[in-house]
């Protein structure tokens, strides 16, 4: 018997709903992005984000059910991102999911946003099963995870300051690119010379799998400020390409090292930054040199979406791991508590 789950994601600036069968088969994955609304402010405005979620959630959920062709009465559970994220945004999804689960008389499953990103990487790979190592690189997180088994996570390292996507967005802004800057910066970098400027790589202690990108960010911003003060016009594509190289080299080297440390030969890249082709190329070639299989999702499963939440929820469903009807939303949430 197959399990059909309707999942809802509203942790940041995407309102999304999906119907997923058995954790892998995506019947629908509707994503309404608020990017155009927040662009004018150069970043996500939490108050506006929650209002936008409220405005769109009903139509996005209805559309997900319509496109899936799965009748509402055939749904087995309602899943929802319970955190981490913007509390006002999360609450919209959580309240909606609670009401739906209650009215349909089916279980409610709260899901950690990062385990969602991780399963976004797993669900698109054929026959990929844990143990595996995952690098989750998004706007809010740079996290290296050893996944021993389904829903069983060990955080090996995380960012001590800015996340990879956050740094990409801030540098992109300094280069005059619109929010969110990751994709625009990738585009600009294609025209640049990656070896033009030697920006610093922060390796931290030899055995650490943590990341720190604020030094790299300052170094790029200082480079641009110094040039401006001298009345020079630096080549922006060179800056973009050299900056990406410094950021991605650290991500690639630490991810492969984490695999070797755990004697694990499957590496998954996920989160919004996983949409970047240069990052995939760098991790891919280093992984191949070390006989590690490298997996990454298609772009639609990299950035925020509900299908990835529906995938995690399937594994929770088969373990009878349901949430109470009093489920709350959490701005901060530990990934290791997902089980
Ligand atoms: O996973 P996500 O959609 O939201 C969070 O959970 O944070 O990630 C958004 C981040 C943003 O920082 C955005 O600039 C970055 O992913 N991003 C990219 C690309 N597309 C999105 N970064 C680099 N290259 C891209 N092509
Ligand atoms: Zn995300």
Question: What DSSP line would sit under 27-51, residue for residue?
Answer: EEEEEEE-HHHHHTTTS--HHHHHH
Ligand nearest to the CA of 178: 1
Q: Which residues contact 273 (CB under 8 A, 6 or more apart)?
A: 137, 138, 164, 165, 168, 182, 279, 302
Which of 182, 188, 301 is the pocket-test mutation for ligand 1 (most atoms within 8 Å of CB)?
A: 182
Please report the pLDDT score of residue 338 as a whole number: 87
Q: With a 6 A CB cut-off, is 272 part of the ligand 1 pocket?
A: yes
pLDDT of residue 339: 76
Indicate if ligand 1 lies below 6 Å from the C-beta of 89.
Answer: no
Distance between CA atoms of residues 90 and 328, nearest Å: 9
Q: Is the CB of 44 under 6 A from ligand 1?
A: no
Tokens matching residue 195? 């070896």
pLDDT tens digit sequence for 2-21:
999 999 999 999 999 999 99
Residues in the chain: 339
| 163 CB near ligand 1 (under 6 Å) | no
Taking the C-alpha atoms of residue 274 and residue 89, their distance in angstroms, rounded to an integer, is: 23
Decide if 185 contacts 238 (C-beta within 8 A). Answer: no
What predicted TM-score, i.e. pTM, was given to this entire model? 0.95
The residue whose CA has the least distance to atom 7 of ligand 1 is 139
Ligand 1 lined by 9 (C-beta under 6 Å): no
> Does ligand 1 have an atom closer than 6 angstroms to the CB of 171?
no
Neighbouring residues of 211: CB distance < 8 A, sequence distance ≥ 6: 142, 157, 158, 159, 160, 164, 202, 204, 250, 251, 254
**Ligand 1 contact via 109 beta carbon (within 6 Å):** no
Residue 213 has pLDDT above 90, yes or no: yes
pLDDT value at 206 more than 90: no
pLDDT at 337: 86
pLDDT one-digit tens code per residue, 227-270: 999 999 999 999 999 999 999 999 999 999 999 999 999 999 99
Which atom of ligand 1 is found nearest the CA of 141?
A: 7
d(CA 68, CA 46): 30
Ligand 1, residue 165: give the atom nearest the CA: 12
Percent over 90 (pLDDT), the chain:
96
71-88 pLDDT per residue, tens: 999 999 999 999 999 999
Among 165, 180, 331, residue to substitute to test ligand 1 (most atoms within 8 Å of Cβ) = 165
Give the CA count within 13 Å in the CB-facing half-sphere of 23.
22
Q: Is the CB of 183 under 6 A from ligand 1?
A: yes
Give the closest residue to 159 by CA, choosing from 240, 77, 251: 251
* Centroid of ligand 1 to alpha carbon of 165 (angstroms): 5
Average pLDDT across the chain, whole number = 96
Per-residue pLDDT, 276 = 97
In 3D, which of 159, 145, 97, 87 has the Cα closest to residue 117? 145
Question: Mutate which of 241, 303, 332, 333 to test ligand 1's pocket (most atoms within 8 Å of Cβ)?
Answer: 303
Q: Whose CA is nearest to atom 20 of ligand 1?
A: 183
């Amino acid at each position: 018997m197959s399990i059909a789950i309707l999942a809802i994601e509203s942790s940041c600036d995407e309102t999304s709903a999906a119907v997923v069968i058995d954790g892998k088969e995506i019947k629908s994955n509707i994503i309404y992005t608020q990017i155009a609304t927040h662009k004018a402010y150069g970043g996500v405005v939490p108050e506006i984000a929650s209002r936008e979620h409220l405005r769109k959630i009903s139509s996005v959920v209805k559309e997900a059910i319509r496109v899936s062709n799965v009748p509402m009465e055939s749904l087995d559970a309602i899943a929802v991102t319970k955190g981490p994220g913007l509390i006002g945004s999360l609450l919209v999804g959580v309240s909606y999911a609670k009401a739906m689960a209650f009215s349909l008389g089916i279980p409610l499953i709260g899901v950690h946003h990062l385990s969602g990103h991780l399963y976004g990487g797993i669900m698109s790979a054929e026959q990929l099963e844990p143990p595996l190592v995952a690098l989750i690189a998004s706007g809010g997180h740079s996290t290296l995870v050893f996944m021993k088994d389904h829903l069983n996570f060990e955080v090996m390292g995380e960012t001590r300051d800015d996340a990879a996507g956050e740094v990409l967005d801030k540098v992109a802004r300094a280069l005059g690119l619109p929010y969110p800057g990751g994709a625009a910066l990738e585009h600009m970098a294609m025209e640049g010379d990656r070896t033009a400027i030697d920006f610093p790589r922060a390796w931290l202690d030899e055995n650490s799998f943590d990341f720190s990108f604020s030094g790299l960010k300052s170094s790029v911003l200082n480079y641009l400020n110094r040039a401006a003060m001298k009345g020079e016009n630096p080549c922006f594509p060179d800056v973009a390409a050299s900056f990406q190289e410094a950021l991605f080299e650290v991500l690639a080297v630490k991810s492969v090292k984490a695999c070797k440390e755990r004697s694990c030969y499957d590496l998954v890249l996920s989160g919004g930054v996983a949409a970047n082709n240069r990052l995939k190329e760098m991790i891919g070639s280093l992984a191949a040199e070390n006989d590690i299989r490298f997996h990454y999702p298609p772009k639609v499963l990299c950035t925020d979406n509900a299908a990835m939440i529906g995938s995690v929820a399937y594994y929770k469903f088969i373990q009878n791991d349901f949430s109470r009807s009093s489920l709350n939303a959490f701005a901060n949430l530990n990934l290791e508590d997902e089980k």
